[in-house]
Amino acid sequence: MLEIKNLHARSDETEILRGIDLQVNAGEIHAIMGPNGSGKSTLAHVIAGREDYEVTQGEIHYNGKDLLDMEIEVRAAEGIFLAYQYPVEISGVSNKYFLRTAMNCVRKHHGESPIKRTEFIALLKQNLDRLGMDKSMMDRSVNEDFSGGEKKRNEILQMAMLQPKLAVLDETDSGLDIDALKIVANGVNALRSPERATIVVTHYQRLLDYIVPDKVHVLAGGKIVRSGDKSLALELEDKGYGFLQELTAT
Amino acid sequence: MIATEIETYREQHAAFQRKSSPEWLVELRQQGLDAFTRLGLPTKRLEDWRFTNVSPLTANPYELSSLTSPDNEIVGDEINALVQQATLDESYHRLVFINGRYCEESSRLHDVSSGVIIDNLASVIRSRANEVRDQLSGGLDFDESAFAALNTAFIDDGAFIDIPDGVASDRPVHLVFLSTGSSRTVSHPRNLIRLGKGSTANVIESYLGNGDVYFTNSITQITLDESAELDHHKLQHEQIGALHIAMTRVDQRTSSHFRSHYFSFGGSLARNELDCVLDGERIETTLNGLYMPKGDQLMDCRTRIDHAKPNGNSHELYKGILDDKSKGVFNGKIFVRQDAQKTDAKQSNQALLLSDDASVNTKPQLEIYADDVRCTHGATIGELEEDALYYLRSRGIPIDFARKLLIFAFANDVVQGVELAAVRRHLESLLLSGHELSEDIL
Ligand SMILES: Nc1ncnc2c1ncn2[C@@H]1O[C@H](COP(=O)(O)OP(=O)(O)OP(=O)(O)O)[C@@H](O)[C@H]1O
Ligand SMILES: [Mg+2]
């Protein structure tokens, strides 16, 4: 589904990603871990299409298409979803309107008619209940004055409504209480299917108790330095990133 | 140059004055002309016009269409189309003016409660001579403003709205000012609005046209008696080549509320002056404005709030959205007189620049002579937030729609200040043009 080859990306003068290779197949869940500043969010944003980063080398294929050639909104409409580490506040646009507009834009891209109001409301209610969110949040401006945890839940709500094919969750677990963590994990697991894939960026093994990954990768210094199965996350939890020094020493 | 220009207006005036009018009006117009002759058209040298150069647009004189085509008897398809375009809600009273003259055929007046007068100025000049004369000459300082003087020199027609004490008007009154014809026509609408004690009303002024080069020079004089409440809306949709100069003067008495909602879209140069005198205690004044120039348009918003008595509140929120090479001017002055203790005045002026070539000049001024007051003012200038644009796009919203949405969001609080649903819908669909509209946009 997603194939990243020798990806190099920079912002201004600094090279952040220095040769990433990653293959994610439909039906899989991959976890990406790694120290602060190693480039995890940058990778997530390059997949989503953020224009602040310049890809200097390498390629990304998404379902056989050249992803780097696609506009941000086309990537989203084609099923890529990034749950932001730092969701953006948009004053003056209600959450409800935003959600419905996003859904309708995606539907339009696929030549489908807009969602019916009643259908939308029913779907929204179902997802709000599932995520333990109050419906009053739908009338508020997007993420404006939301608490850290509320913003994260709001990302998951958008994911649940948009039903992406490839979801990239950037530290969605940070700042969540334990109940919220389970709810978010349920949200991800609910989307689990042979046609979909998920990349979870996290610092904590805890999340992976609920979202069991097929593969775990360690990103350091803009490269994937180790890959393994879920036991790698346990090992990291136990020993930290000390091995990285050894790695660079040798 | 200037001498000949003034000469032309004087000649027009002489021809115009030949129409039969009451003596007091002939005299008032003469005073206007004299003031205009003395002042001349404003130049950039005047502090008040520093950023707004009208000279290129006023270099050639405009012509009074009533001198050449004296009546509005024939209403053609073009006029009907314009009226159609301006119409907000069929249930509103509608007074249509074509090149400054009332057009009965296009107007729609519904029944009104007893004592309420919704009429055109020309028809009440004789029947209500005393009131009209007092209101026309009251408050307005045409001795200082060339355009007000010019308007006064050519007082002819406009709207006349008089709501007696204690009447809550049920239907909004929509005043539609159309400029038509291919030549350089000028109109000088003069509107009088008076609300008696405790009465309420909604008035909308719309300006539009189909000529290419014309000049609208309007004045609206508003008097609010004790505890009266008026929502005054202005939708400025002039043609792109038009010069639009307007002055609204508001005299407020004790406990009255005035809310202004100004929306400026059209014109080559649009200058709107709003002058509020809060002469009584516990007065509330809200001035909301949204101006959206693009291309080479220049929009100048000049406001004055004069707190003369204690315990008054004023809130002013002006937002500009400027594209291409357009220019904006915001010049907002607040006076707090010595007597006006416990005044609470808030002014905020925000501009969104959509292009590197657009610019805005803001000049907030506070003159405070009382010591126990709360006055705040702030001005911000920004661009569309890239992060927000990216966020919307990353949810599948195409860039042009995402931009419109953010522009809409920026303008939204000014639009939502409008309580008349039809006016709000009109604005919402303008702002989101071409994109679906949803009732739960807030
Ligand atoms: N737009 C940018 N401009 C300049 N530097 C950037 C930019 N984005 C990221 N960086 C830098 O690139 C490096 C990687 O950042 P990134 O946010 O990808 O790290 P991360 O692995 O997500 O870290 P964390 O675990 O703290 O979230 C950091 O040193 C960061 O300062
Ligand atoms: Mg990060």
A93 with A144, same domain: the answer is yes
Specify which residues A90 forms β-bridges with.
A142
- When CB atoms are compared, the residue of B393, B409, B438 closest to A90 is B409
In a domain, A35, yes or no: no
Q: What is the pLDDT of residue B442?
A: 42
Torsion angle of C-alpha atoms B103, B107, B112, B115, degrees rounded to 10: -10
The pair of structure tokens assigned to A217 is 């990768």
Q: What is the pLDDT of residue B441?
A: 47
In a domain, A122, yes or no: yes
Q: What is the pLDDT of residue B437?
A: 53
pTM for the predicted model, two decimal places:
0.88
Distance CA B315, CA B377 (A): 10
Q: What is the pLDDT of residue B156?
A: 94
Q: What is the pLDDT of residue B76?
A: 84
In a domain, A117, yes or no: yes
Ligand 1 proximity of A52 Cβ (cutoff 6 Å): yes
Q: From B236, B252, B279, give the residue that closes a domain.
A: B279
Q: Which residue has the tokens 């609408």?
A: B189
Closest ligand to Cα A85: 2
In a domain, A103, yes or no: yes
Q: Determine contact, residues B165/B200, Cβ cutoff 8 Å.
A: no
The boundaries of the domain holding residue B43 are: 3-279
Q: Residues of B at the A interface (Cβ-Cβ below 8 Å)?
A: 387-388, 390-399, 401-402, 405-406, 408-410, 412-413, 436, 438, 440-442
Specify which residues B102 forms β-bridges with.
B97
Counted residue by residue, chain A has a size of: 250
Please answer yes or no on whether A88 and B390 come within 8 Å at the CB atom. yes
A202 Cα: distance to centroid of ligand 1 (angstroms): 15
C-alpha dihedral sign at B99, B105, B108, B110: positive
Radius of gyration of chain B measured on its C-alpha atoms: 21
In a domain, A223, yes or no: no
Residues of chain A with C-beta less than 8 angstroms from the C-beta of B394: 48-50, 72-73, 75-76, 82
A151 with A115, same domain: the answer is yes
Specify which residues B261 forms β-bridges with.
B233, B288
B411, closest residue in chain A (CA to CA)? A92
- When CB atoms are compared, the residue of B388, B394, B401 closest to A48 is B394
In a domain, A233, yes or no: no
Ligand 1 proximity of A41 Cβ (cutoff 6 Å): yes
Tell me the CA distances in angstroms from A44 to A9, A27, A57, A113, A238, one per residue in order: 12, 19, 16, 30, 26
Angle formed at CA B427 by CA B223 and CA A89, multiple of 5 degrees: 115
B270 with B400, same domain: the answer is no
- Which residue owns the Cα nearest ligand 1 atom 13? A37
- Which residue owns the Cα nearest ligand 1 atom 26? A36
Element holding B200 (H helix, E strand)? strand B200-209
Q: Determine contact, residues A128/B425, Cβ cutoff 8 Å.
A: no
Do β-strands B159-163 and B190-195 pair in parallel, antiparallel, or remain unpaired? parallel
pLDDT in tens, chain B (442 residues): 455 788 889 999 998 888 888 999 999 999 999 999 999 999 888 888 999 999 888 888 898 877 666 555 566 888 999 999 999 999 999 999 999 999 999 999 999 988 999 999 999 998 999 999 999 987 777 878 999 999 999 999 999 999 999 999 999 999 999 999 777 899 999 999 999 999 999 999 999 999 889 999 999 999 999 999 999 999 999 999 999 999 999 999 999 999 999 999 999 999 999 999 999 999 999 999 999 999 999 999 999 999 999 999 999 999 999 999 999 999 999 999 999 999 999 999 999 999 999 999 998 889 999 999 999 999 999 999 999 999 999 999 999 999 999 998 999 889 999 999 999 999 988 887 756 555 444 4
The pair of structure tokens assigned to A3 is 């194939």
Give B186's contacts (C-beta < 8 A, 6+ positions apart).
Answer: B62, B63, B64, B65, B100, B214, B215, B216, B217
A144, closest residue in chain B (CA to CA)? B388
A65 with A110, same domain: the answer is no
Distance CA A153, CA A151 (A): 5
A42 Cα: distance to centroid of ligand 1 (angstroms): 6
Please answer yes or no on whether B408 and A102 come within 8 Å at the CB atom. no
Q: Which residue has the tokens 């990306």?
A: A9
Give A236's contacts (C-beta < 8 A, 6+ positions apart).
Answer: A33, A205, A218
Tell me the CA distances in angstroms from A65 to A57, A74, A195, B232, B351, one per residue in order: 17, 12, 16, 56, 41
Helix (H, G, I), strand (E, B) or coil at A237: helix
Which among B393, B403, B438 is the top mutation candidate for probing chain A, defined by the most A β-carbons within 10 Å of its own β-carbon?
B393
The boundaries of the domain holding residue A59 are: 1-28+55-69
Which among A88, A108, A141 is the top mutation candidate for probing chain B, defined by the most B β-carbons within 10 Å of its own β-carbon?
A88
Q: Which residue has the tokens 């003034």?
A: B6
Element holding A205 (H helix, E strand)? helix A205-210
Shortest Cα distance from B438 to chain A (angstroms)? 7
Shortest Cα distance from A223 to chain B (angstroms)? 25
Domain count of chain A?
A: 2
Please answer yes or no on whether B394 and A105 come within 8 Å at the CB atom. no
Of B304, B308, B305, B286, which is closest to residue B229 (Cα–Cα)? B286
Shortest Cα distance from A235 to chain B (angstroms)? 34
Domain count of chain B?
A: 2
In a domain, B343, yes or no: no
A63 with A113, same domain: the answer is no
B408, closest residue in chain A (CA to CA)? A92
Q: What is the pLDDT of residue A165?
A: 96
Q: From A101, A136, A166, give the residue that closes a domain.
A: A166
Shortest Cα distance from B406 to chain A (angstroms)? 8
A119 with A61, same domain: the answer is no
Shortest Cα distance from B352 to chain A (angstroms)? 14
Of B151, B147, B250, B109, which is closest to residue B192 (Cα–Cα)? B250
Ligand 1 proximity of A36 Cβ (cutoff 6 Å): yes
Q: What is the pLDDT of residue B432?
A: 79
Q: From B244, B279, B314, give the residue that closes a domain.
A: B279
C-alpha dihedral sign at B32, B38, B42, B45: negative
What ipTM goes with this model? 0.95
Q: Determine contact, residues B67/B12, Cβ cutoff 8 Å.
A: yes
Residues of chain B with C-beta less than 8 angstroms from the C-beta of A73: 393-394, 396-399, 402
**With a cut of 70, which residues of chain A have pLDDT below it?**
245-250
